[in-house]
Amino acid sequence: MGEGSSDRSCSAMQRRPLVLHVRTVTGTGGGPEKTILRSPAYLAAAGWDAYCAYLHPPGDAGFEALRHRADSWGAPLIALPDRGPTDLRPIRELALLCRQLQPDVWHGHDYKSDPLGLLLRRKRKRMFLVSTVHGWGVPGRRVRLYRWIHQLCLRYFDRVICVSQDLKRQCIRAGIPTRICRMVENGVDTSIYVPRESTSSAKARLGLPSDVLLVGAVGRLSAEKDYPTLLRAARRLNESGRRIHVMIVGDGPEKERLADLIRQYELEQAVSLAGFQPDPIPFYQAFDVLCITSTSEGLPNALLEAMACEVPVISTLVGGIAGLIQDGVTGLAIHPGDDAALADALTRIWDSDLRRALAQAGRAIICERYSFERRMQRVVSIYRELIEYRDSIDRT
């Protein structure tokens, strides 16, 4: 081997492995962004480089908020305008990006980024394909088609990370090989998400009286979150004379429908749509309880964040939530769509002793099982497993 070849080999040996996260997003995104955009900083400390490539509609104002979050978290963000299924430019740009960066791992996060990774791997045989399955949303004609295509592609990936045991079972039932599926639950930084002030002072900052029960909800305003059930429960309590205020933090396609329901139920004084908030922590500090009424979930970051901030939780037991919420111990459980049961659970939450017990038990389980560091350690071990396998093949 000549001197030039030796130099190239040494350079390759010294090169830090690189992960390219790829995701499709509209607006400000959702819970997965907190995991994706916080990953590069952790990976850098672990000896890896990482970039986050986002396909998004051109001119989408919400994307600027996402860009700001990436900057604040130190995540290298690559914006790729995407005009829809017939637009081939994102494919060409991603192919060029792969030639430039030479990623060791393509880490996709949705129904579009994963098929694109499978397509581009044809010319990059040394690039491993990893996907995180965050959930598949509300069943519908188009969603079912996207899900079928997505699950078909995942069969040919090297590893599929599922954020809950339920999603792992769904993947295996869809024909994705068990040997490539790994269950890695979401996590939060428990040094950041921590109780910082009294709920009364936090409520005052939001312009609310301390004696009102502040019911919070945080998440994308989309159909699977089923916020109408929360509004119907609020109407029940409002009609019974309970002092309650519901604050929904987030943005999305259901915003106008929810605004119409608020007017229809005459809840203008009892419900606030706070819109997208880059930092939900000040809201967690003010909430007396967080409500999750979802009909479909993976494992929502908002649930983990609120519990870490010692906010008691009322939730449906869908997806990975069932493994976290033990009724009466770490939270209160309700059935999807049952506004009467939710109203009853909110009535129980007026008991300050119950709130305190649920809050303390909730933070304890998050610290024990759902820290972001623990999650990233498991993800890095999956990456390393693949790289070490490739290196062993190279040595033979």
- What residue ranges do the domains of the chain occupy? 12-187+372-395, 199-369
State percent of the chain over pLDDT 70.
95
- For residue 224, the tally of other CB atoms under 10 A from its CB is 20
Measure the N-to-C terminal CA separation of the chain; round to a whole number of Å.
Answer: 17
In terms of phi and psi (left: phi > 0; alpha: psi -120 to 50; beta: otherwise), the region of 74 is left
**How confident is the model at residue 10, as a pLDDT?**
43
Residue 106 contacts residue 131 (beta carbons within 8 Å): no
Q: How would residue 135 be classed by pLDDT, with cut points 50, 70 and 90?
A: confident
What integer best gives the mean pLDDT of the chain? 93
List the structure tokens of 182.
Answer: 């790994």
Q: What are phi and psi of 19, to 5 degrees?
A: -110, 130
Contact 208, 245 (CB under 8 A): yes
pLDDT value at position 137? 66
Residues 6 or more apart whose CB falls under 8 angstroms from that of 295 comprise 138, 224, 226, 316, 318, 336, 337
Question: Which tokens go with 220?
Answer: 């994308």
Side chain identity at residue 131, one-letter code: S
Residues 77 and 29: their CA atoms lie apart, in Å, by 14
Instruction: Report CA Rg, the chain.
Output: 22
- Cα–Cα distance, 384 to 341 (Å, whole number): 46
Q: Report the alpha-carbon angle 42-48-49, nearest 5.
A: 95
CB count, 10 Å around CB of 215?
A: 25
Domain made up of 12-187+372-395: CATH architecture: 3-Layer(aba) Sandwich (3.40)
Question: What is the C-alpha to C-alpha distance for residues 9 and 20, in angstroms, rounded to an integer?
Answer: 23
- The pair of structure tokens assigned to 218 is 């945080």
Residue 185: pLDDT over 70 = yes
Question: What distance in Å separates the CA atoms of residue 38 and residue 55, rounded to the nearest whole number?
Answer: 18
Residues 6+ apart with CB under 8 A from 13: none
Whether 2 shows a pLDDT value over 70: the answer reads: no
CA angle 191/194/200 to nearest 5° reads 155
Question: According to the model, what pLDDT value does residue 86 have?
Answer: 87
Nearest to 289 by CA among 265, 338, 325: 325
What pLDDT score does 209 carry? 94
Instruction: Convert the pLDDT of each residue in 344-379 to its tens digit.
Output: 999 999 999 999 999 999 999 999 999 999 999 999
Pure H helices in 224-337: 227-239, 255-264, 281-286, 301-308
Q: Is 162 helix (H, G, I), strand (E, B) or coil?
A: strand
Q: Which CATH class is domain 199-369?
A: alpha beta
Mean pLDDT over 183-203 rounds to: 95
pLDDT for the residue 127: 96
Residue 3 has pLDDT above 80, yes or no: no
The predicted structure's pLDDT at residue 139: 60
- Check residues 396 and 20 and name the one with the higher pLDDT: 20
Across 136-145, 276-285, 298-307, least confident range: 136-145
Q: Could you check whether 12-187+372-395 and 199-369 share the same CATH topology?
A: yes
Q: Which of 65, 61, 82, 81 lies closest to 73, judged by CA?
A: 65
Q: What does the pLDDT read at residue 8?
A: 40
Report, as an integer, the average pLDDT of 195-223: 95
Q: Higher-confidence residue: 394 or 200?
A: 200
> pTM score, two decimals?
0.84
Q: Is the CB of residue 248 less than 8 Å from the CB of residue 221?
A: yes
pLDDT digits (tens, 9 = 90+) for 22-37: 999 998 888 899 999 9
Tell whether the model's pLDDT for residue 232 goes beyond 90.
yes
Q: Rounded to whole angstroms, what are the CA distances from 8 to 49, 90, 104? A: 20, 31, 17
